[in-house]
Amino acid sequence: MINLAVIGRNFVVDEMLEATRLFPEIKLHAIYSRKEDTGREYAEKWGFDKVYTDLDKMAEDKNIDAVYIASPNYCHEQQAVKLMQAGKHVLCEKPMHKSYAGAMNMINTAKQNGVVFMEAMMSAHVPGTYKIMELLPLIGKVRRVNLSFCQYSSRYDKFKQGIVENAFDPTLWNGSFMDLGVYPVSLLLQLFGEPSDIKSEAVFLPESIDGQGTMICSYPDMTATLQWSKITQGYIQSDIQGEDGSIIIDRVSKPTNLTLILRDGTKEEYETLAGKPVMYYELKDFIAQINGEEMPLFNQISASEAKLMEKARKRMGINFSLTQGL
Protein backbone atom coordinates (compact mmCIF):
# COMPACT_ATOMS: atom_id res chain seq x y z
CA MET A 1 0.00 0.00 0.00
CA ILE A 2 1.22 3.49 -0.89
CA ASN A 3 -0.19 6.21 1.36
CA LEU A 4 -0.35 9.31 -0.82
CA ALA A 5 -0.40 12.94 0.25
CA VAL A 6 -1.20 15.87 -2.04
CA ILE A 7 -0.24 19.54 -2.14
CA GLY A 8 -2.65 21.54 -4.31
CA ARG A 9 -6.38 21.70 -5.04
CA ASN A 10 -6.84 22.61 -8.71
CA PHE A 11 -8.29 20.84 -11.77
CA VAL A 12 -4.92 19.18 -12.47
CA VAL A 13 -5.01 17.60 -9.01
CA ASP A 14 -8.56 16.43 -9.71
CA GLU A 15 -7.32 14.65 -12.85
CA MET A 16 -4.49 13.02 -10.94
CA LEU A 17 -6.81 11.84 -8.18
CA GLU A 18 -9.16 10.37 -10.79
CA ALA A 19 -6.19 8.38 -12.09
CA THR A 20 -5.34 7.07 -8.61
CA ARG A 21 -8.64 5.20 -8.60
CA LEU A 22 -7.16 2.79 -11.15
CA PHE A 23 -4.44 1.78 -8.69
CA PRO A 24 -5.76 -0.23 -5.72
CA GLU A 25 -2.35 0.03 -4.03
CA ILE A 26 -2.79 3.79 -3.57
CA LYS A 27 -4.59 5.14 -0.51
CA LEU A 28 -5.38 8.86 -0.26
CA HIS A 29 -3.96 9.72 3.14
CA ALA A 30 -3.42 13.48 3.54
CA ILE A 31 -3.74 16.87 1.88
CA TYR A 32 -1.78 20.03 2.62
CA SER A 33 -3.58 23.37 2.42
CA ARG A 34 -2.75 26.82 3.73
CA LYS A 35 -6.30 27.05 5.11
CA GLU A 36 -7.95 24.41 7.25
CA ASP A 37 -11.46 24.97 5.86
CA THR A 38 -10.52 24.69 2.17
CA GLY A 39 -8.33 21.70 2.92
CA ARG A 40 -11.11 20.01 4.85
CA GLU A 41 -13.57 20.62 2.02
CA TYR A 42 -11.20 19.04 -0.52
CA ALA A 43 -10.41 16.14 1.80
CA GLU A 44 -14.10 15.34 2.14
CA LYS A 45 -14.56 15.56 -1.63
CA TRP A 46 -11.87 12.95 -2.33
CA GLY A 47 -11.74 10.93 0.88
CA PHE A 48 -8.40 11.96 2.42
CA ASP A 49 -7.87 10.93 6.04
CA LYS A 50 -5.98 14.01 7.20
CA VAL A 51 -5.56 17.71 6.52
CA TYR A 52 -2.32 19.55 7.23
CA THR A 53 -1.75 23.30 7.25
CA ASP A 54 1.85 22.90 8.46
CA LEU A 55 4.27 21.33 5.96
CA ASP A 56 6.74 20.38 8.69
CA LYS A 57 4.07 18.36 10.47
CA MET A 58 3.08 16.65 7.24
CA ALA A 59 6.73 15.76 6.60
CA GLU A 60 6.84 14.18 10.08
CA ASP A 61 3.87 11.91 9.32
CA LYS A 62 5.47 8.46 9.16
CA ASN A 63 2.40 7.04 7.44
CA ILE A 64 2.95 9.11 4.30
CA ASP A 65 4.88 7.21 1.63
CA ALA A 66 4.64 9.60 -1.31
CA VAL A 67 3.56 13.16 -2.08
CA TYR A 68 2.17 14.66 -5.27
CA ILE A 69 3.16 18.35 -5.44
CA ALA A 70 0.95 20.61 -7.54
CA SER A 71 1.70 23.92 -5.81
CA PRO A 72 2.88 27.13 -7.56
CA ASN A 73 6.18 26.64 -9.40
CA TYR A 74 8.27 28.69 -7.00
CA CYS A 75 7.26 26.36 -4.11
CA HIS A 76 8.40 23.13 -5.75
CA GLU A 77 12.02 22.94 -4.64
CA GLN A 78 11.51 23.90 -1.02
CA GLN A 79 8.58 21.55 -0.56
CA ALA A 80 10.11 18.63 -2.46
CA VAL A 81 13.46 18.82 -0.68
CA LYS A 82 11.82 18.96 2.75
CA LEU A 83 9.61 15.98 2.00
CA MET A 84 12.36 13.88 0.40
CA GLN A 85 14.65 14.55 3.36
CA ALA A 86 11.84 13.14 5.49
CA GLY A 87 11.87 9.96 3.40
CA LYS A 88 8.90 10.65 1.12
CA HIS A 89 8.81 9.87 -2.59
CA VAL A 90 7.83 12.93 -4.65
CA LEU A 91 5.89 13.34 -7.88
CA CYS A 92 6.25 17.03 -8.78
CA GLU A 93 4.16 18.92 -11.33
CA LYS A 94 5.86 20.50 -14.31
CA PRO A 95 7.91 22.55 -14.64
CA MET A 96 9.91 21.24 -11.70
CA HIS A 97 12.07 24.39 -11.41
CA LYS A 98 13.10 27.56 -13.21
CA SER A 99 16.81 26.72 -13.07
CA TYR A 100 19.08 23.78 -13.81
CA ALA A 101 20.71 24.13 -10.38
CA GLY A 102 17.34 23.94 -8.64
CA ALA A 103 16.28 20.94 -10.70
CA MET A 104 19.51 19.09 -9.94
CA ASN A 105 19.13 19.87 -6.24
CA MET A 106 15.78 18.09 -6.25
CA ILE A 107 17.09 15.11 -8.25
CA ASN A 108 20.21 14.78 -6.07
CA THR A 109 18.20 15.09 -2.84
CA ALA A 110 16.18 12.08 -3.93
CA LYS A 111 19.35 10.06 -4.55
CA GLN A 112 20.86 11.10 -1.21
CA ASN A 113 17.75 10.03 0.69
CA GLY A 114 16.99 6.84 -1.22
CA VAL A 115 13.61 8.01 -2.50
CA VAL A 116 12.00 8.48 -5.91
CA PHE A 117 11.66 11.90 -7.51
CA MET A 118 9.84 12.34 -10.81
CA GLU A 119 8.49 15.32 -12.71
CA ALA A 120 4.83 14.89 -13.65
CA MET A 121 5.30 15.52 -17.37
CA MET A 122 2.42 13.87 -19.26
CA SER A 123 4.14 13.65 -22.64
CA ALA A 124 7.11 11.74 -21.21
CA HIS A 125 4.92 8.80 -20.20
CA VAL A 126 1.96 8.44 -22.57
CA PRO A 127 2.00 5.65 -25.18
CA GLY A 128 1.72 8.22 -27.97
CA THR A 129 5.26 9.44 -27.42
CA TYR A 130 6.62 5.91 -27.66
CA LYS A 131 4.54 5.34 -30.78
CA ILE A 132 6.20 8.41 -32.32
CA MET A 133 9.59 6.84 -31.56
CA GLU A 134 8.43 3.63 -33.22
CA LEU A 135 7.31 5.50 -36.34
CA LEU A 136 10.37 7.73 -36.73
CA PRO A 137 12.42 5.22 -38.76
CA LEU A 138 9.60 5.05 -41.31
CA ILE A 139 9.88 8.72 -42.29
CA GLY A 140 13.60 8.62 -43.10
CA LYS A 141 16.08 11.27 -42.04
CA VAL A 142 14.31 13.90 -39.99
CA ARG A 143 14.86 17.41 -41.32
CA ARG A 144 12.21 19.60 -39.69
CA VAL A 145 10.23 19.50 -36.44
CA ASN A 146 7.33 21.82 -35.63
CA LEU A 147 5.92 21.59 -32.10
CA SER A 148 3.16 24.01 -31.12
CA PHE A 149 1.03 24.59 -28.02
CA CYS A 150 -1.02 27.75 -28.46
CA GLN A 151 -4.06 27.80 -26.20
CA TYR A 152 -6.01 30.95 -25.36
CA SER A 153 -6.13 31.10 -21.57
CA SER A 154 -9.48 31.30 -19.84
CA ARG A 155 -7.77 33.74 -17.45
CA TYR A 156 -6.53 36.12 -20.14
CA ASP A 157 -9.79 38.07 -20.36
CA LYS A 158 -9.57 38.81 -16.64
CA PHE A 159 -5.93 39.80 -17.07
CA LYS A 160 -6.95 42.36 -19.69
CA GLN A 161 -9.35 43.77 -17.09
CA GLY A 162 -6.51 44.18 -14.61
CA ILE A 163 -7.19 41.01 -12.61
CA VAL A 164 -3.95 39.00 -12.36
CA GLU A 165 -4.58 35.35 -11.51
CA ASN A 166 -1.94 32.67 -10.92
CA ALA A 167 -1.41 31.78 -14.59
CA PHE A 168 -0.24 35.33 -15.37
CA ASP A 169 1.63 36.02 -12.11
CA PRO A 170 5.44 36.22 -12.59
CA THR A 171 5.99 36.14 -8.81
CA LEU A 172 4.85 32.50 -8.96
CA TRP A 173 7.27 31.76 -11.84
CA ASN A 174 4.37 31.52 -14.26
CA GLY A 175 3.75 32.75 -17.80
CA SER A 176 3.29 31.11 -21.17
CA PHE A 177 6.78 29.61 -21.38
CA MET A 178 6.70 27.93 -17.98
CA ASP A 179 3.07 26.86 -18.33
CA LEU A 180 2.82 25.78 -21.98
CA GLY A 181 6.26 26.12 -23.57
CA VAL A 182 7.60 23.42 -21.28
CA TYR A 183 5.61 20.79 -23.22
CA PRO A 184 7.20 21.22 -26.67
CA VAL A 185 10.60 21.58 -24.97
CA SER A 186 10.21 18.31 -23.08
CA LEU A 187 8.89 16.37 -26.08
CA LEU A 188 11.69 17.66 -28.30
CA LEU A 189 14.33 16.59 -25.78
CA GLN A 190 12.82 13.15 -25.33
CA LEU A 191 12.71 12.52 -29.05
CA PHE A 192 15.92 14.20 -30.25
CA GLY A 193 18.09 15.24 -27.30
CA GLU A 194 19.59 18.66 -26.66
CA PRO A 195 20.03 21.08 -29.59
CA SER A 196 23.42 22.55 -30.42
CA ASP A 197 22.08 26.11 -30.34
CA ILE A 198 18.83 28.03 -29.88
CA LYS A 199 17.26 31.34 -30.76
CA SER A 200 14.22 32.48 -28.80
CA GLU A 201 11.94 35.45 -28.34
CA ALA A 202 8.82 36.32 -26.36
CA VAL A 203 5.91 38.74 -26.51
CA PHE A 204 5.45 40.45 -23.15
CA LEU A 205 2.27 41.67 -21.52
CA PRO A 206 1.89 44.23 -18.72
CA GLU A 207 3.11 43.02 -15.31
CA SER A 208 6.28 41.70 -17.06
CA ILE A 209 4.68 38.38 -17.96
CA ASP A 210 5.30 36.57 -21.26
CA GLY A 211 2.14 35.92 -23.25
CA GLN A 212 3.69 33.88 -26.05
CA GLY A 213 7.03 32.83 -27.46
CA THR A 214 9.01 31.04 -30.13
CA MET A 215 12.20 29.01 -30.06
CA ILE A 216 14.28 27.80 -33.00
CA CYS A 217 16.49 24.86 -32.09
CA SER A 218 19.45 23.90 -34.27
CA TYR A 219 20.74 20.36 -34.71
CA PRO A 220 23.51 19.22 -37.08
CA ASP A 221 21.07 18.01 -39.74
CA MET A 222 17.65 19.38 -38.78
CA THR A 223 15.81 22.38 -37.39
CA ALA A 224 13.06 22.40 -34.76
CA THR A 225 10.64 25.28 -34.28
CA LEU A 226 8.74 25.46 -30.99
CA GLN A 227 5.92 27.91 -30.33
CA TRP A 228 3.55 28.48 -27.45
CA SER A 229 0.94 31.04 -26.47
CA LYS A 230 -1.63 31.82 -23.79
CA ILE A 231 -3.03 34.77 -25.76
CA THR A 232 -3.94 33.08 -29.07
CA GLN A 233 -5.67 29.84 -30.01
CA GLY A 234 -3.76 27.66 -32.44
CA TYR A 235 -5.40 25.09 -34.71
CA ILE A 236 -2.45 23.79 -36.74
CA GLN A 237 -1.17 20.45 -35.45
CA SER A 238 2.47 19.70 -34.75
CA ASP A 239 4.51 17.53 -37.10
CA ILE A 240 7.85 15.83 -37.64
CA GLN A 241 9.03 15.93 -41.26
CA GLY A 242 11.45 13.37 -42.64
CA GLU A 243 12.78 12.82 -46.13
CA ASP A 244 10.39 9.89 -46.63
CA GLY A 245 7.29 11.14 -44.80
CA SER A 246 5.81 12.97 -41.84
CA ILE A 247 4.22 12.26 -38.46
CA ILE A 248 1.36 14.57 -37.48
CA ILE A 249 0.81 14.97 -33.72
CA ASP A 250 -2.48 16.17 -32.24
CA ARG A 251 -1.18 17.56 -28.91
CA VAL A 252 2.40 17.99 -27.71
CA SER A 253 1.28 17.90 -24.07
CA LYS A 254 -0.21 14.43 -24.47
CA PRO A 255 0.29 12.91 -27.93
CA THR A 256 -2.80 10.78 -28.49
CA ASN A 257 -3.91 10.78 -32.12
CA LEU A 258 -1.07 10.40 -34.61
CA THR A 259 -1.08 10.32 -38.40
CA LEU A 260 1.71 8.82 -40.46
CA ILE A 261 1.87 10.10 -44.05
CA LEU A 262 4.58 8.69 -46.29
CA ARG A 263 5.88 10.46 -49.38
CA ASP A 264 4.23 7.88 -51.64
CA GLY A 265 0.83 8.86 -50.25
CA THR A 266 0.42 6.01 -47.78
CA LYS A 267 -1.50 7.23 -44.72
CA GLU A 268 -2.22 5.54 -41.39
CA GLU A 269 -3.82 6.88 -38.20
CA TYR A 270 -3.19 5.77 -34.62
CA GLU A 271 -5.11 6.36 -31.36
CA THR A 272 -2.92 5.51 -28.41
CA LEU A 273 -4.51 6.09 -24.98
CA ALA A 274 -6.62 2.90 -25.03
CA GLY A 275 -9.32 4.35 -22.82
CA LYS A 276 -7.02 5.25 -19.93
CA PRO A 277 -6.93 8.77 -18.40
CA VAL A 278 -3.79 10.57 -19.50
CA MET A 279 -2.32 10.84 -16.00
CA TYR A 280 -2.59 7.09 -15.52
CA TYR A 281 0.71 6.61 -17.35
CA GLU A 282 2.89 8.99 -15.32
CA LEU A 283 1.40 7.57 -12.11
CA LYS A 284 2.11 4.05 -13.34
CA ASP A 285 5.78 4.91 -13.96
CA PHE A 286 6.06 6.67 -10.59
CA ILE A 287 4.70 3.60 -8.77
CA ALA A 288 6.99 1.31 -10.74
CA GLN A 289 10.00 3.26 -9.48
CA ILE A 290 8.74 3.15 -5.90
CA ASN A 291 8.56 -0.63 -6.35
CA GLY A 292 12.21 -0.72 -7.38
CA GLU A 293 12.19 -0.41 -11.17
CA GLU A 294 14.93 1.92 -12.47
CA MET A 295 13.88 4.59 -14.96
CA PRO A 296 16.75 7.11 -15.09
CA LEU A 297 15.61 8.52 -18.45
CA PHE A 298 12.86 10.66 -16.93
CA ASN A 299 15.10 12.67 -14.60
CA GLN A 300 17.65 13.06 -17.39
CA ILE A 301 14.96 14.62 -19.60
CA SER A 302 13.76 16.84 -16.74
CA ALA A 303 17.28 18.08 -16.04
CA SER A 304 17.86 18.84 -19.73
CA GLU A 305 14.49 20.58 -19.85
CA ALA A 306 15.38 22.85 -16.93
CA LYS A 307 18.77 23.66 -18.48
CA LEU A 308 17.37 24.47 -21.93
CA MET A 309 14.49 26.52 -20.53
CA GLU A 310 16.79 28.52 -18.30
CA LYS A 311 18.98 29.32 -21.31
CA ALA A 312 15.98 30.27 -23.45
CA ARG A 313 14.39 32.34 -20.70
CA LYS A 314 17.53 34.43 -20.35
CA ARG A 315 17.61 35.05 -24.09
CA MET A 316 13.94 36.05 -24.09
CA GLY A 317 14.44 38.38 -21.13
CA ILE A 318 12.10 36.50 -18.79
CA ASN A 319 13.67 37.37 -15.45
CA PHE A 320 11.96 35.99 -12.37
CA SER A 321 14.70 37.46 -10.15
CA LEU A 322 12.93 40.81 -10.62
CA THR A 323 9.87 39.43 -8.83
CA GLN A 324 9.33 38.33 -5.25
CA GLY A 325 9.34 34.63 -6.14
CA LEU A 326 13.12 34.24 -6.02
Residue 19's pLDDT band (boundaries 50, 70, 90)?
A: very high
CATH at residue 103: 3.40.50.720
Between CA 79 and CA 59 the distance in angstroms is 9
State the sign of the Cα–Cα–Cα–Cα dihedral 157, 158, 164, 167. Answer: negative
pLDDT band of residue 325 (cuts 50, 70, 90) is very low
Residue 194 burial (CB count, 10 A): 14
Is the CB of residue 127 less than 8 Å from the CB of residue 121? no
Over pLDDT 90: what percentage of the chain?
92
- How confident is residue 324, by pLDDT bands cut at 50, 70 and 90? very low
pLDDT at 32: 97
pLDDT at 322: 53
pLDDT at 186: 98
Say if residue 9 is in the same domain as residue 31.
yes
So what's the pLDDT on residue 275? 86
> Are 290 and 117 contacting, i.e. CB atoms less than 8 angstroms apart?
no
Domain boundary among 96, 120, 144: 120
Per-residue pLDDT tens digits for 70-127: 999 999 999 999 999 999 999 999 999 999 999 999 999 999 999 999 999 999 999 9
| Separation CA 85–CA 136 (nearest Å) | 41
Q: Is the peptide bond before 206 cis (omega within 30 degrees of 0)?
A: no
Q: Is the pLDDT of residue 244 over 50?
A: yes
The band of 319, judged by pLDDT with boundaries at 50, 70 and 90, is confident
| Cα(301)–Cα(317) distance, integer angstroms | 24
How many structural domains compose the chain?
2
d(CA 188, CA 182): 10
Q: Which residues contact 240 (CB under 8 A, 6 or more apart)?
A: 132, 136, 139, 142, 144, 145, 146, 191, 246, 247, 249
Residues 18 and 140 in one domain: no
73 and 176 belong to one structural domain: no
φ/ψ region of 162 (left if φ > 0, alpha if ψ in -120 to 50, else beta) reads left
Domain that holds residue 71: 2-120
pLDDT at 326 exceeding the cut of 50: no
Stronger pLDDT, 324 or 233, i.e. the higher one: 233
Residue 288 to residues 22, 25, 291: CA-CA distances in angstroms?
14, 12, 5
**pLDDT, tens digit, for every residue of 138-183?**
999 999 999 999 999 999 999 999 999 888 999 999 999 999 999 9
* Residue of 183, 273, 260 whose CA lies nearest to 226: 183
From 70, 103, 120, the end of a domain falls on: 120
Cα gap 24→41, rounded to integer Å: 24
Q: Give CA–CA dist 53/66, Å, rounded.
A: 17
Q: Assess whether 115 and 179 both reside in one domain.
A: no
CATH number, domain with residue 178? 3.30.360.10
> Amino acid identity, residue 128?
G
For residue 324, which amino acid is it? Q
Mean of the per-residue pLDDT values of the chain: 95
For position 96, what pLDDT does the model report? Answer: 96
